């Protein structure tokens, strides 16, 4: 897709610091990429149950990650800050006081509700994990994401909350380069950011053009059949019936969060001695990465990899193998990492099809190995002290691109089976 931006790894190198421990052998040879590895049990089937949500929301152990314009509240670049229900109560109240069906029935498009997302229960969080219980099977510390951007009816309450937390030395990290969260927190942040962004991007129904309502703890948007907005000016006004909407007559994917599958691939030469990397014009000098692009409708992952590689570089691939996947919350990607092998007569580079890359080049494995050692950094960061001007620069370990290159130089091609 020529004008759809492909994601690039704008996350600092330091953020990887505790990812190695997550890459423990718990699940065998699985590669857990940054932004995966959440400690939360999402108990997704409990989301329509407002009795559950209401109890979890108001529980003493409940923790809230605050977002202002999608920037999270932090103590430091590596550490999220959390607040309690009593802190957010003036902003959010308790939106779960009625069953969901009644909430939909009482829909009023003129009312603003700050977006709240139930992230899940942390069952691994020491004593706090045992405190909140629901029914026979469910316990854990409830975690939430809340949009406190000062707006509409909650402008004053949000400003006060923001002043309070900033008074304690906490701050909203501006943009992703101010963030290098430890891996566990990065995963919770990614879930909150992805959901808040999806809700904010989709205030209207794609099927009928009317405003929609967030339900299911922030994981669904529904198009209510009627609207009480007329009552804002006339308390006795009847509800307005809205036109029929296709999303109401069955299950519609439009009602659920969108995640865009994206392929990203380390391309090796037919003889396995070189790796193809490309660069975009806006990247720093000497900075290259693996090729990437969006998977299209009616493609398998392998087909998307072959198409993107040919479109961007002219190279023809034979075998393609999936390596690992990475959730990427900017705004809503699932990065599917693969390793592909060029055919012997398909290695010639041609940049004239799609205009996405400024350059694409074959690199020897040794050069990649050395750059992985001394030349990695986030975009906008400097590489390490051993790096020398003119040497190859590569994305940080938090990027799946880095993991793919690492897999190649460490012998993924020809490695033993993973299961």
Which residues, numbered 136-165, are part of the site for a copy of itself (CB under 8 A)? Answer: 137
- Residue 45 binding a copy of itself, by CB under 8 A: yes
d(CA 9, CA 18): 18
Identified binder of a copy of itself from the candidate list 17, 18, 23, 42, rule CB under 8 A: 42
Q: Which of 373, 371, 410 is nearest to 394 (CA)?
A: 371
- Residue 26 binding a copy of itself, by CB under 8 A: yes
- Residue 299 binding a copy of itself, by CB under 8 A: yes
Tokens at 388, concatenated: 């020398």
Segment interacting with a copy of itself (CB under 8 A) among 55-63, 158-166, 228-236, 298-306: 298-306
Identified binder of a copy of itself from the candidate list 51, 168, 204, 364, rule CB under 8 A: 204
Tokens at 17, concatenated: 């610091």
d(CA 346, CA 268): 12
- Residue 5 binding a copy of itself, by CB under 8 A: yes
The least distance separating a copy of itself from the CB of residue 269, rounded to whole angstroms, comes to 13
- Residue 282 binding a copy of itself, by CB under 8 A: no
Applying CB under 8 A, the site for a copy of itself has a residue count of: 94
The least distance separating a copy of itself from the CB of residue 32, rounded to whole angstroms, comes to 7
Give, for 338, the enclosing helix (H) or strand (E).
Answer: strand 333-342
- Residue 374 binding a copy of itself, by CB under 8 A: no
Half-sphere exposure of 75 (CA within 13 A, CB side): 8
Nearer to a copy of itself, 47 or 393 (CB): 47
- Residue 1 binding a copy of itself, by CB under 8 A: yes
**In 125-234, at which residue ranges do the beta strands (DSSP E only) sit?**
133-134, 138-139, 141-147, 171-172, 213-215, 220-222, 226-227
Q: Where are the alpha helices (DSSP H) in 180-233?
A: 183-201
Half-sphere exposure of 298 (CA within 13 A, CB side): 0
Binding marks (x or -) toward a copy of itself, 118..137, rule CB under 8 A?
Answer: -------------------x
Residues 212-241 that bind a copy of itself (CB under 8 A): 219
Identified binder of a copy of itself from the candidate list 23, 104, 207, 239, rule CB under 8 A: 207
- Residue 44 binding a copy of itself, by CB under 8 A: yes
- Residue 210 binding a copy of itself, by CB under 8 A: yes
d(CA 81, CA 118): 17
Measured in whole angstroms, the distance separating CA 112 from the mean position of its chain's CA atoms is 25
């Amino acid at each position: 897709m020529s004008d759809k931006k492909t994601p690039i790894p704008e996350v600092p190198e330091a953020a990887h610091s505790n990812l190695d421990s997550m890459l423990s052998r718990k699940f065998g040879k699985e590669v857990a990429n940054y932004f995966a590895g959440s400690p939360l049990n999402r108990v997704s089937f409990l989301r329509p149950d407002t009795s559950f949500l209401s109890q979890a929301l108001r529980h003493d152990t409940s923790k809230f990650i605050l977002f202002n314009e999608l920037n999270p509240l932090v103590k430091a670049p590596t550490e999220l800050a959390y607040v309690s229900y009593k802190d957010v109560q003036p902003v959010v109240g308790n939106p779960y006081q009625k069953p969901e069906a009644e909430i939909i029935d009482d829909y009023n498009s003129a009312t603003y509700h700050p977006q709240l997302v139930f992230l899940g229960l942390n069952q691994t969080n020491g004593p706090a994990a045992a405190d909140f219980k629901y029914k026979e099977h469910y316990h854990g510390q409830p975690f939430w994401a809340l949009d406190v951007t000062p707006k509409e009816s909650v402008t004053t309450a949000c400003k006060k909350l923001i002043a309070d937390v900033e008074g304690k030395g906490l701050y909203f990290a501006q943009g992703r380069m101010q963030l290098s969260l430890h891996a566990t927190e990065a995963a919770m942040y990614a879930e909150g950011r992805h959901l808040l962004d999806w809700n904010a991007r989709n205030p209207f129904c794609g099927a009928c053009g009317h405003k929609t309502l967030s339900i299911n703890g922030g994981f669904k948007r529904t198009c209510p059949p009627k609207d009480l907005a007329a009552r804002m000016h006339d308390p006795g006004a009847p509800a307005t019936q809205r036109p029929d909407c296709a999303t109401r007559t069955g299950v519609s994917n439009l009602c659920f969060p969108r995640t865009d599958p994206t392929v990203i691939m380390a391309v090796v030469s037919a003889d396995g001695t070189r790796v193809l990397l490309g660069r975009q014009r806006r990247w720093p000098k000497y900075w290259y990465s693996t090729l990437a692009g969006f998977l299209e409708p009616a493609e398998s992952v392998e087909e998307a990899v072959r198409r993107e590689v040919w479109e961007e570089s002219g190279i023809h691939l034979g075998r393609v193998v999936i390596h690992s996947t990475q959730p990427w919350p900017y705004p809503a990607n699932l990065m599917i990492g693969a390793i592909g092998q060029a055919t012997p007569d398909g290695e010639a580079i041609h940049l004239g099809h799609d205009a996405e890359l400024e350059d694409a080049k074959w690199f020897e494995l040794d050069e990649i190995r050395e750059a992985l050692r001394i030349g990695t950094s986030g975009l906008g960061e400097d590489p390490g002290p051993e790096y020398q001007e003119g040497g190859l620069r590569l994305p940080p370990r938090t990027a799946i691109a880095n993991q793919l290159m690492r897999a190649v130089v460490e012998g993924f091609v020809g490695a033993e089976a993973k299961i």
